Amino acid sequence: MRRNRLVACALALLGGACSAPDYSAVRDWARTASIVADYPSVSAPLAGAPASLAATTSADVLNAAAASRPALDGILAMQEALAVYLSALATLASDGVLPYRDDPFIPLVPRAAAADAGGGRAVAELGAFRRNARRTTMQAPEMRDAIVAADPTAQALVAALSSAVARVASGEAEDRAATAASYARLERETRDSAARQATRDLAALRDREFVHRAAARAQYGAVLTRIAEGHALLKTRARRITQEETVRQVRAAEDSLRRAAALLPRETIVEPTPAPRRADPIAPRADTVRGSVPHV
């Protein structure tokens, strides 16, 4: 009987020793981070000014709005690179093989550099990392060393993305004041009461869009902070990444990231309509707003 118990214990120990390390915590954190990094509200342009309003808006404001498009496209490129890199970590943690041998980030580099030179360099380096991971058929065990090596570049990309978003947000604060002044001037120059009310409605809707975008960008900065902290944790605990304490910490980091992402504003699409013509006695239809489901 005693011998049977010893054999059973030995088999149990052998089974535990032969079981594969569990990288599911890393997989789940990386998958969540990839999803929340790709939040489109921070890279989408504000709706264009109505044609009749553009005539009353200063050239400086219109030029600033046009100049923001490359910056917004650069933010979109950095978001895409960050999301794909994090998705690649999730695949590696699942012992999966990454698709595509070539560098998928090559077209993203100049776009990211248009918003931030450091961001462009980081995108290029992460593209090289992903290409190497695919060509060497990297999987979960090798991923630990790769995270340590890639962390400075990942941190640089997150920092560049945060800075680019903050710069755009600062510029839009000035645009908000200029746009409000332009609508106020148009309202003063409109004699018809219905047209004036329509102008006020358009101005309020436009201002709400500015407020929504400012809130989205501020909270997205908090999300990026959580992503940077989570990646730094993976680097610090890389050698013990499957141990129980590390798994607990990574799960906590994922929970913190989800909580930050839950505070991102719901995405809103504003469809502009022409501002009222001064001679038109009937107010035009006000802008319509479609609310989409939350991104996360």
Residue-level pLDDT at 142: 81
Give the pTM: 0.73
Q: Which two tokens stand for residue 4?
A: 């049977």
> Could you tell me which of 65, 93, 228 has the C-alpha nearest to residue 157?
228
Please write the tens of the pLDDT for every residue from 220-265: 999 999 999 999 999 999 899 889 999 999 999 999 999 999 999 8
* Sheet strands (E) in the chain: 268-271, 288-291
- Per-residue pLDDT for 90 more than 70? yes
Say if residue 86 is exposed, middle or buried (CB neighbours under 10 Å; 0-12, 13-18, 19+): buried
Whole-number Å distance between alpha carbons of 137 and 21: 18
Q: Which two tokens stand for residue 214?
A: 């400012």
Residue-level pLDDT at 24: 92
Whole-number Å distance between alpha carbons of 154 and 82: 8
> Could you tell me which of 108, 137, 138 has the C-alpha nearest to residue 124?
108
Please, what is the average pLDDT of the chain? 77
Q: Which two tokens stand for residue 90?
A: 């999730």
Please write the tens of the pLDDT for every residue from 102-155: 677 899 999 999 999 999 999 999 998 888 877 777 777 788 888 999 999 999
Q: Are 102 and 140 in contact (CB under 8 A)?
A: no
